[in-house]
């Protein structure tokens, strides 16, 4: 699903979308985040902080994932890659800090390396 490379060159591998293991990530500065989705790979690097959101709905006691949102925070802006499972589209959005998800702040941010120019790439 994803892997994080830290400033000390160690790697953390995440699990699947239903159990991302985000809360078990070591408290180290992230230098690169690669996220594999189908035949696409997204790479985020150079952000001050990283996060993600998994949007779900509950239909007849069954959880259905509707969106996956990858986030990189720089200064007072949050760059988001949104993978929308309902519309089958992938797009980029920018939000102000504290308004990154449905006009509300998110929790669970992980530290990145502050002195690089932020970049998001997508390889097919």
Number of domains making up the chain:
1
Question: How many Cβ atoms sit within 10 Å of the Cβ of residue 54?
Answer: 14
Report pLDDT for 124.
67
Give the pTM.
Answer: 0.91
Chunked in runs of 10, what are the mean pLDDT values of the chain (124 residues)?
Answer: 94 88 94 89 94 92 92 94 92 93 92 85 81
Quote the domain boundaries for residue 105: 2-123
The encoded tokens of residue 25 equal 């990530």
Report pLDDT for 37.
81
Report pLDDT for 18.
81
Beta carbons of 112 and 29 less than 8 angstroms apart: yes
């Amino acid at each position: 699903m994803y892997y994080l490379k830290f400033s000390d060159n160690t790697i953390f591998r995440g699990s699947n979308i239903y159990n991302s293991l985000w809360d078990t990530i070591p408290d180290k500065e992230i230098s690169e985040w690669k996220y594999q989705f189908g035949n696409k790979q997204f790479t985020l690097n150079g952000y001050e902080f990283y996060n993600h959101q998994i949007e779900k709905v509950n239909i007849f006691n069954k959880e259905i994932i509707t969106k996956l949102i990858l986030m990189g925070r720089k200064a007072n802006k949050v760059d988001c890659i949104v993978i929308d499972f309902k519309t089958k589209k992938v797009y980029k959005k920018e939000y102000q800090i504290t308004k990154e998800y449905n006009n509300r702040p998110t929790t669970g941010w992980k530290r990145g390396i502050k002195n690089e120019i932020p970049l998001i790439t997508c390889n097919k």
